[in-house]
């Protein structure tokens, strides 16, 4: 009986994994670089809005000029239509570019969080790092370690991609 218990204990402990967990959403919400990136995005949005407003004002001025003429020519109609089309294209292009920049920013930060989690997991000899919300019980919480690494002024400037390649 004792031999069977010892054998069972040894096989289950052989399958036990040393797992790290992180709360990515929390890290994202507290990461200093996120605030800088949001400020850059907001500045870009203001710049795009300013360009769009300039086009809108130009369109309104041209529309006033054309409508003030006693006779509106086909060229005037075409010019007005072209201005409206340019205005609409600028709005669509600006929205698309802004959304792409926003997605790239989120992807870059997510990649940094994941890279640092892997790096710290390897330093702590963990076999796996997973999202904290996917666990019910257990795991070594690396959330604060990852956040501290990312917000550290010295490591903040490091290229996590190259760091990770060196560790792997």
Q: With beta carbons less than 8 A apart as the criterion, state whether 156 and 140 touch.
A: no
Domain ranges of the chain: 15-167
* Strand-strand pairing, 19-22 and 128-131: parallel
Does residue 135 carry a pLDDT above 70?
yes
What's the chain's Rg over C-alpha atoms?
A: 28
The neighbouring-strand residues paired with 21 are 130, 141
| Local structure of residue 141 (DSSP, 8 states) | E
pLDDT digits (tens, 9 = 90+) for 62-121: 888 777 777 778 887 888 888 888 888 888 988 898 899 999 999 999 999 999 999 999
The CATH architecture of the domain made up of 15-167 is: 2-Layer Sandwich (3.30)
- This prediction has a pTM of 0.69
Does residue 123 carry a pLDDT above 60?
yes
SS3 (DSSP) at 10: helix
């Amino acid at each position: 009986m004792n031999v069977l218990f010892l054998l069972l204990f040894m096989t289950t402990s052989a399958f036990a994994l040393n797992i790290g967990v992180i709360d990515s959403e929390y890290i994202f919400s507290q990461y200093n670089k996120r605030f800088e990136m949001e400020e850059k995005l907001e500045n870009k949005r203001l710049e795009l809005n300013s360009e769009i407003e300039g086009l809108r004002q130009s369109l309104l001025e041209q529309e006033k000029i054309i409508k003030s003429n006693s006779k509106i020519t086909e060229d005037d109609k075409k010019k007005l239509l072209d201005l409206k089309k340019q205005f609409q294209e600028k709005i669509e292009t600006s929205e698309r570019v802004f959304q792409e920049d926003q997605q790239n920013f989120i992807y870059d930060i997510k990649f940094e969080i994941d890279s640092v989690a892997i790096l710290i997991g390897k330093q702590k000899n963990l076999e796996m790092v997973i999202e904290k919300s996917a666990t019910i019980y257990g795991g070594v919480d690396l959330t604060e370690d990852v956040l501290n690494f990312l917000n550290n002024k010295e490591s903040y400037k490091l290229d996590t991609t190259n760091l990770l390649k060196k560790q792997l």
